[in-house]
Amino acid sequence: MGALTHSVQRLDRAGVQRFLPLLDAWLLEGAAYGVQQTWPQLYRNDGEGAFFVVTEGDELLSHCAYRTATLRDGSSDRTIALLGSVATAPGARGQGLAGAVLQAALDSLRGEVDEVLLWAERPELYARHGFAPSGDDACLVLARRPRRTRDDVRLADVRDHAALHALHQQKPRRVERSLRTMSTLLTTPGMTTLVLERDGEAVAYACTGKGADLQGHWHELGGADEDLAQLLPEAMHRTDQVQAALLLPPYRRPLAALLVDHVVDELAVAGPMVRSAQTDARRPCWIDGLDSV
């Protein structure tokens, strides 16, 4: 195959279903969970993704996807697109196909969103399309310490969904979710959610794992820092973690001090790259792990 001669098509969720086994192999090779379980807001039956593909006959050559959302930051809202799953068939790489599906997705978003965010293994590829780093996020490495028996920590279940949604809505920086979306995310295969209970109601929660993604990471937190400092050490015991990573939202620096006896290291990890309709592409753009694609 020579220069790019294939056109890019836009598909809806139903149209992309036949390609999911191939995307599982390209994006999550050898994993126990596929793309439907790992990124349910894109690929599950009730997902809301937009998909851009290059095909040759019935063969998928290249693909990317996005979904749009509202990012609340204090009292202001931004309309964003979360873009991911950029992948090309091994035998078709180096021909500009990934750039073509990416550009088609960006063209479809022009004038519709304030920012496009993506997580990049090769930032230089996306810099060509106008993406810039948003800065680093903090990642705490936690070590399990001797257990203090608690009877107020338990696995979350469906009766907690409304309370956990309310806790999410209290965060100063968050992607807006409906209760239905929150329930979808909390039932993601491969994820464990622990709650701290008080007077019969969940007052804090923490999530680890998400399909094939974020295993061994606590990637979403809700509730007061003081309650989370009580929850997380017990949650590590409940999930049999000797050591774990905690992705720390920038508004939760006090939590690091509260967990000081458990923190053995702190690392900087790259946040999402941002393509902004405005000049200020480095505005804070923390995205909880459940919303990442």
Average pLDDT, the chain: 93
Q: pLDDT band at 5, cuts 50/70/90?
A: low
Would the pLDDT of 2 be above 60?
no
Q: What is residue 1's predicted lDDT score, i.e. its pLDDT?
A: 41
Query: Residue 75 is encoded by which pair of tokens?
Result: 């009292």
- The winner for highest mean pLDDT among 50-54, 123-127, 279-283 is 50-54
**What sign does the CA torsion over 29, 236, 290, 121 have?**
negative
Pairing relationship of beta strands 243-248 and 213-223 according to DSSP bridges: parallel
Contact by Cβ (8 Å): 289, 214: yes
What domains, with CATH codes, occur in the chain? 8-134+272-291 (3.40.630.30), 137-270 (3.40.630.30)
Would the pLDDT of 231 be above 60?
yes
Would the pLDDT of 274 be above 90?
yes
Within 13 Å, how many C-alpha atoms sit on residue 71's CB side? Answer: 22
Q: pLDDT band at 280, cuts 50/70/90?
A: low
Q: What is residue 170's predicted lDDT score, i.e. its pLDDT?
A: 97
Instruction: With CA atoms as reference, report the closest residue to 90 among 63, 61, 65, 64.
Output: 61
Q: What is the pLDDT of residues 173-230, one digit of tens each?
A: 999 999 999 999 999 999 999 999 999 999 999 999 999 999 999 999 999 999 999 9
Residues with Cβ within 8 Å of 158's Cβ and at least 6 positions away in sequence, in order, are: 183
74-to-137, 172, 245, 270 alpha-carbon distances in Å: 19, 5, 27, 23
Lowest mean pLDDT among 91-100, 165-174, 192-201: 91-100
DSSP category for residue 7: P
Q: What is residue 148's predicted lDDT score, i.e. its pLDDT?
A: 80
Max CA distance (Å), the chain: 67
Q: Which helix (H) or strand (E) holds 77?
A: strand 76-88
Query: Residue 148 is encoded by which pair of tokens?
Result: 């203090």
Strand partners, 176: none
Residue 123 exposed, middle or buried by CB count within 10 Å (0-12, 13-18, 19+): middle
Place of tokens 């997580």: 119
Would the pLDDT of 60 be above 60?
yes
Angle between helices 161-169 and 179-186 (to 10 degrees): 110
How would you classify residue 74: left for phi > 0, otherwise alpha for psi between -120 and 50, otherwise beta? left
Query: Residue 136 is encoded by which pair of tokens?
Result: 């680093």
Q: pLDDT band at 121, cuts 50/70/90?
A: confident
Instruction: With CA atoms as reference, report the closest residue to 253 among 144, 168, 175, 138.
Output: 138
Query: Residue 35 is encoded by which pair of tokens?
Result: 């793309």
**What sign does the CA torsion over 68, 48, 191, 229 have?**
positive
DSSP category for residue 90: G
Strand partners, 103: none
Whole-number Å distance between alpha carbons of 186 and 184: 6
